[in-house]
Amino acid sequence: MSKQKSYLILFLTFLLCLLPYEQIFAAGYIKSKEKSKLVDIRKLDKTIVIDLRYATKNNFTKKKIYPAAVPLLRKETAAKLVKVNNEAAKKGYRIKVWDAYRPFSAQRTLYNAASNKSYVAHPSKGSRHNRGAAVDLTLVDRKGKELLMPSAFDDFTKRAHRNNPGMNKTAKKNMDYLTSIMKKHGFRTISNEWWHYEDTNWEKYPLLDVPLTSFK
């Protein structure tokens, strides 16, 4: 290698070090191209209850993380969710969504605000929410009252773990029912947040940083 080339590589490495490291590792995120691939859940099914907690101060950070309350998912993921809601309707239940698509930049804000980092995906990897392929939800009855579940949303303790041996029986029954209809229509679970579901095809979808305000 020529001396000039070596200097060039050194210089480029130096430039790379000036970037925030999460931008280096998650350089694959897309700013606007994929906007059309996201859909507002309310447009597909008006009966799904929306309570985007990060668009309010009613979340674990006590801060408004999202500048707009727009519940978005990948079109394919949203279509699956509508199927789940239709199935729940047979029992007189509806889905209540707490979080859906989360812009990549909001992931950084959320991560920095979290005291227990083990519950929020590191910005270097991004979250499946950043792909529009994950949804946080629960079930409500005909009156809109939440069914008893293992814990409140974003309860970052063992109470939120799916295998918590001390779980209330009714809460377990409700969680198992929600799990069964979500799995039936193409979602999978994670072990430490009973409310979190992700599209089984999440890997197909890229990380996005399309701002929520562009959908208002």
Please report, as ranges, the residues that interact with Zn ion according to CB under 5 A. Answer: 136, 196
**Pick 29 or 153: Cβ nearer Zn ion:** 153
Q: How far apart are CA 59 and CA 63, in angstroms?
A: 7
* Cβ-closest position to Zn ion: 196
**Pick 96 or 196: Cβ nearer Zn ion:** 196
Asked about 193 being catalytic, the answer comes back as yes
Q: How far apart are CA 203 and CA 162, in angstroms?
A: 23
Pick the catalytic residue from 22, 34, 193, 198.
193
**Pick 102 or 185: Cβ nearer Zn ion:** 102
**Pick 89 or 124: Cβ nearer Zn ion:** 124
Minimum CB separation of residue 170 from Zn ion in Å reads 23
Query: What token pair was written down for 202?
Result: 């999440």
Task: Check whether 129 is labelled as a binding-site residue.
Answer: yes
- Enumerate the H helices of the chain as residue ranges: 3-18, 21-25, 41-44, 75-89, 104-113, 169-184
Q: How far apart are CA 75 and CA 84, in angstroms?
A: 14
- Enumerate the H helices of 59-168 as residue ranges: 75-89, 104-113
Largest CA distance in the chain: 74
Adjacent-strand bridge partners of 188: 198
* Percent helix, percent strand, percent coil in the chain, to nearest 5: 40, 15, 45
Task: Check whether 199 is labelled as a binding-site residue.
Answer: no
Q: Measuring CA to CA, how many Å separate 3 from each of 10, 13, 44, 86?
A: 11, 15, 60, 66
**Pick 89 or 122: Cβ nearer Zn ion:** 122
């507002």: which residue's tokens? 40
Task: Check whether 136 is labelled as a binding-site residue.
Answer: yes
Q: How far apart are CA 206 and CA 40, in angstroms?
A: 18
Minimum CB separation of residue 62 from Zn ion in Å reads 19
Residues of the binding site:
129, 136, 196
Residues of the binding site for Zn(2+):
129, 136, 196
Report the catalytic residues. Answer: 193
